[in-house]
Structure 1
Amino acid sequence: MEQPKIHPYLPIFIGVVSVSLSAIFVKLANEEAGIIAFYRMLFSVIIMAPLFFWKYTAELKQLSKRDWLFSSIAGVFLSFHFILWFESLNYTSVASSTVLVTLQPIFAFVGTYFFFKEEITVKTIFAGAIAIIGSVLISWGDFKLSGTAFYGDILALIACALITAYLLFGQDVRKRLSLVTYTMIVYVVSTITLFLYVVIKGESFGPYSTIDWIWFILLAIVPNLLGHTLFNWSIKYVSTNVISIAILFEPIGAAVLAIFIFQEYLIATQIIGGLVVIFGIILFVIDDKKILKYFSKKA
């Protein structure tokens, strides 16, 4: 593997911190979920537009009707993922919401099994069961804490299912398009969808305070463009499993930040449930063959 000038773990670490800030910025923005999501996507499109129009517009000619359809559906799913996830943060804690959203690999496993007939193994079933037990612990603890917290957990779980659907529809299209072109199409569709959502709900597009505009822009720059771009850069030098496991530290980073910023202290079921979820997903994404190969070398 080609060696980069800097160690890939440094960009991965910065990427994890960047995506961990997403829930924090959303909670700090004092506006409706649809508005926050709309401006997050709009500013992302505006920032990406110069690069797209300079280098990637020719790729649009390669798109089939199926590609346009699947990309558009992905954009719609992404829109409602943001709406429901941001809304969940109004009801439940940053820790619970972000942990439940990280169940994405388990939802993806179910989706790829039904749509792409991918293989089921005993390990994936076992790992999925562990992660689900962890999510039940979190939700049960939040339910005992308050009904609204439990409602927020449900919204976060639905948001997780929607982001998985977004990835499944994009899986085929990404084989033929660059990341920039595909992302631009999805973000534009998502922005239009969110615009219509805000109009239908009768919410105002402004004016807002200066600090809210800052949160909107930071949401576009930090978790959207910086965080995921660094992950995409790192994937050239490290295994996908390294990225997958690194992303699981997002809830930990977000939870720690929430303690200092919002004084959201964790209860026992949140801590235990969160650790169980993370363990289950690590078990799910880890590569058994590489582990066996590693230990056989040591032997």
Structure 2
Amino acid sequence: MNRTKIPIPIFIVIAIIAISFSSIFVRWSDASAAVTAMYRLFITNVLMLPLLWGHLPEIRRIRPREWGRLAMSGIMLGLHFLFWMQSLHYTTVASSTAILTLEPIFVLAGAFMLHGVRTSREALLAMILAIIGAICIGWGDFQFSGTALRGDILSFIGTVAVAFHMLLGKKLRDHISAFVYSFFVFLFAGLTLAATNVYTGEAFAGYPLRDWIVFGLLAVVSTIFGHYIFNWLLKYMKASSVSMTVLGEPLGASVLAYFLLGEKITLVQLGAGLILLIGVALFLRSNEGD
């Protein structure tokens, strides 16, 4: 793996905290999931646009096949935002984010089938430990009927989509910078959501100031300080390791939901969070030490 002198663990913590705010911001907005996600990404593109000029030589070197992969990675990210953010309107933050913990399993399986990437037995056991902890965080909120079940299914579909996004991103990030990769992936994801909104007849304007503030917070906090950092990390870590760090989101989101949304959090969930963190730490030490 590529190495950098930059303290990667610090960036991992920043990114986890940033994405943990996503579910809180979504709950604060009355706009539909597709509209919220679309403006989140387009605002991010606008903020990144002034720096794009300096990357024009790199952009010109991108080959047609790579443009296709960038588009597909963006479409998968757009679908992830669409389904996962919609799930938060039907189920709890803890339940929805706990389902996201399936992502590293899909990424690990995909990396093996597509690229022959293997991992150690110790790393697999650590992954299982972390996922058990994450599932326990949301277990009390899982429901197997009604709208909550619908929310859990939407979160599951969103998890499959983001796993594909991560696998495509790892391949592209081997020779495309984090900035260029992120800009166009966010752009393609935003266009995917825009097309969805046109098809469903969603309004593109007329939202109150509160919604626009939420769109901006999602762009700056959760996308730039969250997803952009994870895209950057793909250069220095295995895709399965990056996806494992995302497992910190259920704990972070549950704690934030307790303070900001009034959702309950139990001692069992706190204990499960500790198990999750131990599992993630053990996985990273084993998987990145290969």
Report if the CA contact (8 A) 1:132-1:277 is conserved: yes
The aligned runs of 1:124-163 (5 Å cut-off) are: 124-130=123-129, 133=132, 141-144=140-143, 147-163=146-162
- CA distance change for structure 1 residues 89 and 49 in 2, over 3 Å: closer, same or farther? same
- CA distance change for structure 1 residues 133 and 256 in 2, over 3 Å: closer, same or farther? closer
Q: Kindly indicate whether residue 216 of structure 2 is the aligned counterpart of residue 217 of structure 1.
A: yes
Structure 1 vs Structure 2 CA RMSD: 3.4
What secondary structure, in the 3-state scheme, does the structure 1 residue paired with 2:141 have? helix
- CA distance change for structure 1 residues 190 and 88 in 2, over 3 Å: closer, same or farther? same
Determine the C-alpha separation between the residues in 2 that align with 1:132 and 1:246: 11
Deviation at 1:280, TM superposition (A): 4.5
- Cα deviation per residue 1:176-206 (whole Å; 9 max; x = unaligned)? 2111111111111111111100010111112
1:37 equivalent in structure 2: 37
The aligned runs of 1:1-299 (5 Å cut-off) are: 12-52=12-52, 54-119=53-118, 121-130=120-129, 133=132, 141-144=140-143, 147-229=146-228, 247-266=246-265, 279-287=278-286
Determine the C-alpha separation between the residues in 1 that align with 2:161 and 2:230: 21
- Cα deviation per residue 1:108-140 (whole Å; 9 max; x = unaligned)? 101111111222543344345445555665676
Report if the CA contact (8 A) 1:99-1:277 is conserved: no
Report if the CA contact (8 A) 1:137-1:272 is conserved: no
Q: Aligned letter for 1:34?
A: A
Q: Aligned letter for 2:49?
A: A
- CA distance change for structure 1 residues 19 and 135 in 2, over 3 Å: closer, same or farther? closer
Determine the C-alpha separation between the residues in 1 that align with 2:168 and 2:234: 21
Q: Which moved more, 1:222-231 or 1:76-85?
A: 222-231
Report if the CA contact (8 A) 1:140-1:150 is conserved: no
Q: TM-score, structure 1 length as denominator? A: 0.81
- CA distance change for structure 1 residues 245 and 72 in 2, over 3 Å: closer, same or farther? closer
Q: Which moved more, 1:112-121 or 1:32-41?
A: 112-121
Report if the CA contact (8 A) 1:100-1:153 is conserved: yes
Determine the C-alpha separation between the residues in 1 that align with 2:260 and 2:272: 22
Determine the C-alpha separation between the residues in 1 that align with 2:165 and 2:4: 31
Deviation at 1:246, TM superposition (A): 5.6
Report if the CA contact (8 A) 2:94-2:141 is conserved: no
Report if the CA contact (8 A) 2:19-2:223 is conserved: yes
Identity %: 35
Report if the CA contact (8 A) 2:34-2:196 is conserved: yes
What secondary structure, in the 3-state scheme, does the structure 2 residue paired with 1:103 have? helix
Q: Aligned letter for 1:49?
A: L
Q: Which moved more, 1:115-124 or 1:275-284?
A: 275-284
Q: Aligned letter for 2:222?
A: P
Report if the CA contact (8 A) 1:139-1:153 is conserved: no
- CA distance change for structure 1 residues 197 and 270 in 2, over 3 Å: closer, same or farther? farther
Q: TM-score, structure 2 length as denominator? A: 0.83
Determine the C-alpha separation between the residues in 2 that align with 1:114 and 1:234: 22
- CA distance change for structure 1 residues 99 and 275 in 2, over 3 Å: closer, same or farther? farther
- Cα deviation per residue 1:129-169 (whole Å; 9 max; x = unaligned)? 44555566567643458643233223222212211101112
Unaligned runs of 5+ in 2: none
* Max Rg structure: 1
